[in-house]
Amino acid sequence: LITIADDPRTLGELGEFGLIRALTQRLPPSPRALVGIGDDAAVLATPDGRVVATTDFLLEGRHFRRDWSTGRDVGHKAAARSLADVAAMGAAPTALLVALAVPPDLPVGWALDLAAGLAAECERAGASVIGGDTAQAPDVRLAVTGLGDLAGRPPVLRSGAAPGDVVAVAGPLGHAAAGLALLSSGLRETSPSLVAAHLRPEPPYDAGPEAAGLGATAMIDVSDGLLADLGHVARASGVLIDLDPALLRPAEVLRTPGGSSARPGNPDHAQALRWVLTGGEDHSLVATFPPGLTLPARWTVIGRVLSSQDMLANQGTPTGQGALGVLVAGQPWQGGLGWDHFA
């Protein structure tokens, strides 16, 4: 192992093939890769006869800032974004392909930290980096492809939610958004755990196959915000989803990010609920399950699935926010909807 975490050289001095060698040494080989890093393409075993595949950008200035995130943070986050999508299909993550563009003046150590973060998050998920690409760019850019294995089960789609199902979430809600708010306000030290939730989300990968095994009817990962992502489920399934604010209890840390006390009705509580409903990037999993199941403890029930007729009966044709297909305590949410990449 070349020990160049403190290497004073830049990537421009190391060269493309030196960078690839150094990165590869930090990425453990995959037991499932028949051909790994170093050929024209990788070859991954897919004994199930199907492969789950998804790809995501992680762009400096858009998805992360180098003055907030270490290389290791960025590696964790890049892997988490794609592998959470794999888990949200009910699949176990198996492999990652990483396209990485870097400026020539990037310190070598930053790139090696990135590789360490990718490797560590892959290990959390049970996956490995099996290939990639490198290029030069004025800023750091990643595009990460996640692959996964359904182990014989049908995929859990967005379109299977049915009236009467319960809605449940595994993983935190609003923590990443609160962490981003603290970073943006220069309050990084106020709650290191919330800041960490933004910089290094920890999707509950194994909750994905677990939900599939329990008979989940629909599932999605919370990347754009709970309302926005459940809106995709509601529209794809042709249903309404009604969230119960009494069940959406924001975590204590979220209600007091500045250390102040917070009770329902005061501004901190309203802000916490907003983070829970519209904050993205937690990469928690939210799923619908048939009624009457006993769910494992990490799944918190937060609402139920209604027939789309229920809203028509109550309120006429859905319009405006109502068209989202997600209600909070039976009413359209009046706040923002979450993240639009072009807004």
- Separation of alpha carbons 164 and 217, rounded Å: 11
- Which of residues 146 and 303 has its CB atom nearest to its own copies in the complex? 146
Closest approach of Cβ 256 to its own copies, in Å? 33
**Spatial contact of 10 and 2, defined as CB atoms under 8 Å apart:** no
- SS3 of residue 88 by DSSP: coil
- SS3 of residue 176 by DSSP: helix
- Which of residues 95 and 254 has its CB atom nearest to its own copies in the complex? 95
* 98 phi and psi angles, rounded to 5 deg: -125, 110
Closest approach of Cβ 94 to its own copies, in Å? 10
- Separation of alpha carbons 173 and 262, rounded Å: 17
Binding marks (x or -) toward its own copies, 200..239, rule CB under 8 A?
-------------------xxx--------------x---
Binding marks (x or -) toward its own copies, 311..340, rule CB under 8 A?
-----------------------------x
- Separation of alpha carbons 199 and 136, rounded Å: 24
50 binds its own copies (CB under 8 A): yes
Kindly state the tokens that stand for 148. Answer: 């996964």
Amino acid present at 124? R
Alpha-carbon dihedral sign for residues 248, 253, 256, 257: negative
* 271 phi and psi angles, rounded to 5 deg: -65, -40
Q: Which stretch binds its own copies (CB under 8 A): 152-160, 161-169, 248-256, 326-334?
A: 152-160
151 binds its own copies (CB under 8 A): no
Q: Which stretch binds its own copies (CB under 8 A): 47-55, 183-191, 263-271, 330-338?
A: 47-55
4 binds its own copies (CB under 8 A): no
- Separation of alpha carbons 123 and 297, rounded Å: 24
The count of other CB atoms within 10 Å of the CB of residue 262 is 19
Q: Which stretch binds its own copies (CB under 8 A): 94-102, 162-170, 273-281, 290-298?
A: 94-102
- Which of residues 196 and 236 has its CB atom nearest to its own copies in the complex? 236
| Residue whose C-alpha is closest to residue 275's, from 221, 190, 338 | 338
* 248 phi and psi angles, rounded to 5 deg: -90, 25
Closest approach of Cβ 186 to its own copies, in Å? 25
- Separation of alpha carbons 150 and 222, rounded Å: 20
Total binding residues toward its own copies, as defined by CB under 8 A: 70
Pairing outcome for strands 331-332 and 285-289: unpaired
Site for its own copies in 111-130 (CB under 8 A): 130
- Which of residues 98 and 178 has its CB atom nearest to its own copies in the complex? 98
Closest approach of Cβ 39 to its own copies, in Å? 5
Which residues of this protein are in contact with its own copies, per CB under 8 A? 11-12, 14-17, 19, 34-35, 38-57, 59, 62-63, 85-86, 88-89, 91, 95, 97-99, 101, 104, 130-137, 141, 143, 145-148, 150, 155, 157-159, 219-221, 236, 340-343
